[in-house]
Amino acid sequence: MPSDFKTFLNAYGSGVISGELVVFHPRGSSPLLERMRKTHQAFTEHRNRTLDRGNSEHVPYHFHPEAGGLISWGYDHSGDEHFFLPCDPDPDRWKIVTMVHEEGCETFDGPFSSFVLAFVHRLLDVDRYHGIEPEALEFLEPEDLEELAAAGEIGPVQPSFEPF
């Protein structure tokens, strides 16, 4: 595994970053290895079904334990799964692949630590009323919106880590 991932796990363990990105420690309270096995099995079955239908666009990678297969390390509350892509003999050069919920894959070229920083930055870089359905805006008074924003229920998400 990449050294920055191991350093993160040794320092923090399993938990949720900014209330959104879930990271598992192999020996934490939610064992990563069992979750990895189940995730890899489910995604492999999905990939096989998709390939049987002749559509490889949304599942371009195979999964661990196949050589070079994606290795699960977490997910986010938007329904996306995050994997390491072991594309280099040096784990510190592995890429991050996000299986975007029902939309395919996105690849991040940096290490785990850069991915996490970019993820947290995206959560900070939203407008004040982010997270509220546009249809609901017409029914809410400005005071209600301000109350939701002040409570942190909408808008930018502050960096945090909640262990579990």
Provide the β-strand partners of residue 83: 72, 97
Question: Which tens digits make up the pLDDT trace of 23-58?
Answer: 987 776 666 667 767 877 777 777 777 767 776 666
Q: Return d(Cα 40, Cα 158) in angstroms, integer.
A: 31
pLDDT at 48: 76
Q: pLDDT averaged over the chain?
A: 84
Residue 76's φ and ψ, nearest 5 degrees, are -125, 165
Percent of the chain at pLDDT above 70?
91
The stretch 62-83 carries a mean pLDDT of 88
Which distant-in-sequence residues (6+ apart) come within 8 Å of 18 by Cβ?
A: 119, 120, 123, 157, 158, 159, 160, 161
Query: How much is the pTM?
Result: 0.77
The yes-or-no verdict on residue 5 having pLDDT over 90 is: yes
